[in-house]
Structure 1
Amino acid sequence: MGRTPPALPAAPVLVPLADAAGPRTPGRPAVPHGCWYPSADPAGEWVAYICDRGGVPQLWTGPAGGGGGGDGSTARLLDTGPDPVTEVSWSPDGRWIAYTAVPGGGEHGQVLCVRPDGTGRRIVAGADPGTSAYLGCWARDGSALAVTVAAPPGGPAPGPGGGGTALGGALHGDVGHRAGTRDRLAAFLVDPDGGTAPVLVATETGAATLRVCDLTPDGRLALVRRGPRARREAVVVRTAGLESHPVLRVADGDPWIGRFAPDGRRLWLRSDEGREFAALLALELDGDGRPAGRPELVAGRPAADLELLAFLADGRTAALTWNVRGASELELLDPAGAGRPVELPHEVVTRIARGGPAGAVLGLSGSRRRPGVWWLPEAGGPARTPWSSRDADVVAGGRPPVRPEPLRLTARDGLELGGWYYRAPGRAPGVPAPCVVHLHGGPEEQERPVFEPLFHELLGRGLDVFAPDVRGSSGYGRSFTDADLGAGRFAAIEDVADCAAGLVLTGRADPARLAVTGRSYGGYLTMASLVWHPELFRTGVAVCGMSDFATFFAGTEPWIAESAAHKYGHPEHDRELLRALSPMSRIDALRVPLLAVHGEHDTNVPPGESEQFVRAARERGHPAELLTLRDEGHDFLRAENRRLFRRTAGDWLERYLTG
């Protein structure tokens, strides 16, 4: 007898909100601030963006250029609410600005829309309890916004179109999350004006992600990205009947994977199909959206990933950002295939968006500058917008920021590892230093030469920092990213020790004054390094890390469990491997003090992961503390909490490395 398919998330219902209270123009910034995630209006005269000048990431608009000064006097605040904003998208017709906010700083988002003058604010998806929503693309004429809604098992009943054909089932089978229950994802087209009912575009059960990345001008076809990390794929959906056609594997990283040609018969994708590094591929489609032939390579590099892909207003000129060993190189590719390189004032491009009829807007970040938004005209180089933070604001107290040096080290099995070394001001080369090894999350993230306030907190206390990319990181090719899968994670743990040994052998680090820290997966590696190599590090600071894979899979969000099963192992089929990889299984080997930090609303890695490790360390007589940050989730978004985290971590590391 067949199983009854799970109900889909309910179609979104518009929830009107009061206009944002308070002034539309800013006063003096409460904190040194950054600006990021830009999206321009159709004329290219104004830019919507995220800024944390008030202490929390909020929605702002400002002129693309001209007028005003670095104090942001021409900028306007469009939502004064306390919930951090994470994504922004201005509608092609200019009437609405869509954005995603996370209530309470947690992991469950809501999609909202607001008029450019700050009126008409409303929730368009994610208002139902227990659901989460995030942005998709706009219809080309601005008449509808694509949103994805995730509902937990037993959530809202099906909405309109709930009987439509799903894109597919789970990619990994039942991961055993919460007694075998599964999340449901559904993508809808929503009219922000409320004049028409939501239209179902795509559905999937037990999925890790589902995002509508583009629609053809006639709305007949949708480009959807689905699948878990390291196994993403592009799917073309016929919106009328929800018939879907898998197209190509696409690269991890930025979710905006591609775009249809204006006639809908050609598709451009950022893909690593059959390649070590992601490239720009083109694929011809038939009238029903099926692939018609093999993909064609449009632009690729032998040792660099295509990281960001955007198309300018003509729909044919592509803006490409290449990841070259952690730094960005930007080029504009015209319809004839000729590329124009663009010189950048910062090391890393974080976002590209169309900037009206001509040009683009860029999100940029660098090791010596806070994130900012820059205007890129049709000809010439980038110009900083008048409301972005000045370079002089980068480090508190007027201290000059430290620019890192690239450093290559070799793992014990011969694999080359990369990273960035930050030397504390005033220390001459060749003098062994107290050093903190910082491990990024992911595991597929990559250390980039961007401004990191935690690093400068530690540097100001006389501690050097090394930020490596151990196996499993992105930016070095698909084989390197996949090298930590399953039992390969044991080698990733050894990479941390090999990095520490390399720092000592090159004379940079004092072997008696080493510490390790990291966030998310880096928090897991921190705990793992302390119990696998108990004599190597003097202390550690683990932030939002997993301490036991069994409890992690039982407590995390279903869509995260679905994706994590491919990276770490299946919680049922690979139970013994996951137990062997769990730091809690080796807690008796711990010998040094530990500080754990966690957001109270983290449902990605639940706070219990830190709590149980700290509790076990204390039971064994080791100094261990837990800092719980209020109103935060997996990412720390509020300025006051970020300062508390940096100060507490800095005090802890300074005490054990220099005290």
Structure 2
Amino acid sequence: MSRGHRLFYPALPVVAEHAPHRAVYVGDADGRCEILAWDRAAGTARQVTDRPAGTVRAALDPAGATIWWFDDDLGGVGTWRTCDFDRPDRSVEALPSVLPARHAGIAMAADGTTAVGLSDDGGMTVFLRTGDGRVGERVHVGGYAYLVDLDPAGRLLVVGADAATDPAVTVFTADGVRVAAIGGGPDRRVWALGFAPGVDPARLLLVVEDEGGYLPATWTAAEGVVRHGWCRFDTEITAGWFPDGRRLLVRQDRHARTLLYEVDLAARTRTVVDTPPGSVLDAAVWPDGDVAYVWTDSVTPPQLRSVRGVELPEHPGGHSEAGGPDAGAAPADYRREEIRVPGPGGPIPALVALPADREGPRPAVFLVHGGPFQHARDAYDPLVEILVSTGCAVVRVNYRGSSGYGAAWRNDFSAGVGLTQLEDLAAVRAHLVAEGVVEDRRTALWGTSWGGYLTLLALGRQPELWRLGIAISPVADYVAAFEAATPAVRALDVLLFGGTPDEVPQRYARSSPVTYVDRVRAPVLLAVSTGDVRCPPGPVEHYARLLAERRVPHQVVRRRAGHEDFDAQSHLALMQTVLLFMQRHFDGVQDEGTPIALAMARPVG
């Protein structure tokens, strides 16, 4: 059943396992993401956090009595705090003896015993807080790792690492003794998802990559890993348990959309859960058995839906533009197409949005997705609406490296990191120009994070193709960014390049935008955030100085934010700046009263 209320942040509320009438979720508080406590029985919500940069990480103990929330700075370093569900205005430090660090997971046993993962440059440490408030260190893992779960009995905890490494998953006792290690590999990745509720002995859910497909697996101490090969999927999946500990809710990303399945491991059955066409950004089975999910499509902002018709409450401090039932005026009138374009690695999927009232070739903006293992999907993106209303075609390419199209496509970086993706972007551009859809001399790139990196790389590697670049929180110098980044980001870089910059320097240089800065001719807007530890601002500032020395038109926007910005007003100001830059430097972009404030008041997706 559909409801008019929407989520300000595209993640499901967290529902108390033993008190399903209590939940916490990320809501809108004066244009910021903040944590709200939701009494589902009373249909009311109260604001829990109130921080200048917003708050997006929270948990709720199984009894529904204690709210946990993460009090971090712009760089993601912080501490967990707790408050009583009935008195959310009074919070205390949850782990008073533990130094601030980055969030790396939180999990709770049935009795409220809580495991917390915290990471720093030295690795990841798991701390355990028992019901009487005692806190102790249990596990330390060097390098990149994260806490996955604590079993309901509080006896086992599981830690995940890079899915392609050995071990990818490690199971420990609550005292820190290693019980089992599950290895992954470049073509046999393994992800741990969590323990089954209320099951003894503990049963861990996994997803494994196998022969180009994906399938669920389970682990127990007695049986080890059991693969459920009868339930194979051709594209990426994630999954969670039903409360009975026997069935799974599987979410499959497939060809820009999402499918949900109920999988019965004992009966060996797989049944489609009926959802509208579009994308499901999050899904779970709540303790009362309701299947809840965050749904969106190209014209509908993310909203909470469920089989039983759950509805978010009204709450003080929120804006109807961001989360109320009347949010979202009628979308801009535009045509949407899905195409497949011949490419060097096979057919390249792309989503194309076109102004409905204009014929002939149009200026085009290629919105370059990040990740790298994300994908453009049938989901609401306010930028599409904004840019189409200015007269531009909008193109979103699911180039090689994108998820949703199978392991072979996702893992293809055969021409080099970034360079493979540029081949596909160029192929789609050439096809649309040949078909008379876009103008040859008026195509622009716009990307955030890894999409911003591809934007800068394309401007230097393919200067004859692109007439403007918008790069928000990009990587401009891969070596410098590697040195300044977090262990998680460095682990991803090592996976992509096959080593560190010291081990494979030529690969990093060949794929780094700064290598090609002498060839950049198009105007460039660069947006950096002071607290960004994933794409550090220093190398981008240096890249901007190199552009200035070469007299390349450019503008640098500096924001007080982390890699992600949860302040709607900050988003609005950035979009206004970007559109003014485009109007100055990119012929064809027109100011036609685009509802920027309305569209950008929802920092979701």
Question: Which residue identity is paired with 1:147?
Answer: V
- 2:580 pairs with 1:645: no
Structure 2 CA distance for partners of 1:506 and 1:252, relative to 1, 3 Å:
farther
CA separation of 1:275/1:115 partners in 2, compared to 1, >3 Å: closer, same or farther? farther
Displacement of 1:76 after TM fit? Answer: 1.9
Match of 1:530 in 2: 459
Counterpart of 1:92 in structure 2: which amino acid? Answer: P
**Partners of 1:75 and 1:495 in 2: CA distance:** 47
Q: 1:423 to 1:318 in 2, by over 3 A?
A: same
Gaps of 5+ in 2: 315-321, 590-605
For residue 14 of structure 2, the aligned residue among 19, 28, 39 is: 39
Tell me, yes or no, if structure 1 residue 574 matches structure 2 residue 504. yes
- Select the residue among 228, 232, 237 that pairs with 1:300: 232
1:333 and 2:267 matched: no
Partner of 1:114: 83
How far, CA to CA, are the matches of 1:507 and 1:125 in structure 2? Answer: 61
* 1:491 Cα deviation from its structure 2 partner: 2.2
* Aligned AA (2:84): R
Shift of 1:506: 2.8
Q: Distance in 2 between matches of 1:230 and 1:473?
A: 20
Deviation at 1:33, TM superposition (A): 4.4
SS at match of 1:658: coil
Aligned twin of 1:389 = 323
> C-alpha distance in 2, partners of 1:559/1:91?
27
Q: Distance in 1 between matches of 2:336 and 2:325?
A: 17
1:370-399 superposed Cα distances (whole Å, 9 cap, x missing partner): 22222333xxxx54434493575225xx54
What CA distance in whole angstroms lies between the structure 1 residues aligned with 2:78 and 2:188?
Answer: 21
Q: Where in structure 2 are the equivalents of 1:180-199 lying within 5 Å?
A: 183-191=122-130, 195-199=132-136
Query: In 2, are the aligned partners of 1:370 and 1:389 still within 8 Å (CA)?
Result: no
Amino acid in the other structure paired with 1:76 = R
Relative to structure 1, the CA distance from residue 402 to residue 145 in structure 2 (aligned partners, 3 Å threshold; closer, same or farther) is: farther
Counterpart code for 1:56:
R
CA distance 1:341–1:109, shift in 2 (3 Å): farther
> C-alpha offsets along residues 195-242 of structure 1, whole Å, 9 cap, x if unaligned?
342243422112x22213241x33222222122678882222122352
Match of 1:417 among 337, 340, 348: 348
Classify 1:102/1:323 alpha carbon distance in 2 versus 1 (closer, same or farther; 3 Å): same
Change over 3 Å in CA distance of 1:261–1:272 after alignment to 2: same
**Cα offset for 1:120?**
4.3
Determine if contact 1:237/1:243 at 8 Å carries over to the other structure.
yes
What residue ranges of structure 1 are gaps of 5+ in the alignment? 1-28, 68-73, 153-182
Q: 1:222-233 residue pairs with structure 2 within 5 A? A: 222-227=157-162, 233=168
Give the aligned partner of residue 277 of structure 1: 213
CA shift at 1:524, angstroms?
Answer: 0.9
In structure 2, relative to structure 1, the CA distance for the partners of 1:323 and 1:471 (3 Å cut) is: same
Question: How far does residue 254 in structure 1 lie from its aligned partner after superposition?
Answer: 12
Q: Distance in 1 between matches of 2:390 and 2:68?
A: 42
Q: Give the corresponding residue for 2:169.
A: 234
What amino acid maps onto 2:520 in structure 1? L
Q: In 2 relative to 1, CA 369–543 (structure 1 residues): closer, same or farther, beyond 3 Å? A: same
Q: Percent identity?
A: 21
**Aligned-pair CA distance for 1:567:** 1.2
Instruction: Summarize deviations over 1:255-281 as a string: whole Å, max 9, x none.
Output: 862324744446353423323232212
Shift of 1:572: 0.3
Provide closer, same or farther for how the CA distance between residues 77 and 254 of structure 1 changes in structure 2, counting only shifts above 3 A. Answer: farther
Distance (Å, rounded) in 1 between the aligned partners of 2:225 and 2:100: 43
* Structure 2 CA distance for aligned equivalents of residues 383 and 581 of structure 1: 47
Separation in 2 of the partners of 1:392 and 1:328? 26
- Distance verdict in 2 for CA 1:341–1:283, change over 3 Å: same
TM-score w.r.t. the length of structure 2 is 0.86
Report if the CA contact (8 A) 2:337-2:352 is conserved. yes
Aligned to 1:58: 34
RMSD: 3.0
Q: Which residue of 1 aligns with 2:598?
A: none
Q: Which whole-Å CA distance do the structure 2 matches of 1:127 and 1:641 have between them?
A: 35
Match of 2:289 in 1: 358
Query: Is the aligned partner of 1:605 residue 2:535?
Result: yes
2:319 matched residue in structure 1: none
State the 1:477 CA deviation.
1.8
Question: 1:551: which partner in 2?
Answer: 480
On the 8 A contact 1:281/1:299 being kept in 2, the answer is: no
CA distance in 2 between partners of 1:537 and 1:486 (Å): 20
Deviation at 1:498, TM superposition (A): 1.5
- 2:600 corresponds to: none
Match of 1:406 among 324, 327, 338: 338
Give CA deviations for 1:463-513 in whole Å, capped at 9, x if unaligned.
221111111112222222221168354222222212211221233211111
Cα distance between partner residues in 1 of 2:225 and 2:485: 41
Contact persistence 2:452–2:475 (CA under 8 A):
yes
| Aligned residue in 2 for 1:205 | 142
C-alpha displacement of 1:527: 0.6
Q: For 1:82-93, what aligned pairs fall within 5 Å after superposition?
A: 82-93=52-63
Q: Secondary structure at the match of 1:36?
A: coil
- 1:462 shift after superposition: 1.7
For residue 393 of structure 1, give the secondary structure of its aligned residue in structure 2: coil
CA contact (8 A) 2:60 2:67 kept: yes
Give the match for residue 132 of structure 1: 102
The amino acid of 1:269's aligned partner reads L
Question: In structure 2, what is the equivalent of residue 169 of structure 1?
Answer: none
Deviations along 1:317-344, whole A, 9 cap, x unmatched?
3211111212111122345333442222
Residues 361 and 399 of structure 1: is their aligned pair in 2 closer, same or farther, counting only changes over 3 Å?
Answer: closer
Equivalent positions of 1:158-177 (< 5 A) are: none
Instruction: Specify whether residues 293 and 462 from structure 1 end up closer, same or farther in structure 2 by C-alpha distance, changes over 3 A only.
Output: closer
Which residue of the partner structure matches residue 96 of structure 1? 66
The 3-state SS of whatever aligns with 1:446 is coil
Is 1:614 aligned to residue 549 of structure 2?
Answer: no
The 1:654–1:464 alpha-carbon spacing in structure 2 relative to 1, beyond 3 Å, is farther
> Which segment drifts farther, 434-443 or 328-337?
328-337
Indicate if the aligned counterparts of 2:235 and 2:407 stay in contact, CA closer than 8 A. Answer: no
In the TM superposition, residue 530 of structure 1 has moved relative to its aligned partner by 0.5
Distance in 2 separating the partners of 1:122 and 1:364: 35
Residue 78 of structure 1 corresponds to: 48
| SS of match in other structure, 1:467 | strand
- Paired residue total: 572
Please identify which structure carries the higher strand content: 2
Q: Give secondary structure in 2 for the equivalent of 1:426.
A: coil
Q: Paired residue for 1:221, among 141, 144, 156?
A: 156
1:412-433 CA distances to partner (integer Å, 9 max, x unpaired)?
x2422212212234334xx211
Pairwise CA distance, 1:148: 0.8
Q: Judge conservation of contact 1:65–1:385 (CA < 8 Å) in 2.
A: no
Matched, 1:499 2:431: no
Question: C-alpha displacement at 1:595, in angstroms?
Answer: 0.5
Counterpart of 2:159 in 1: which secondary structure? strand
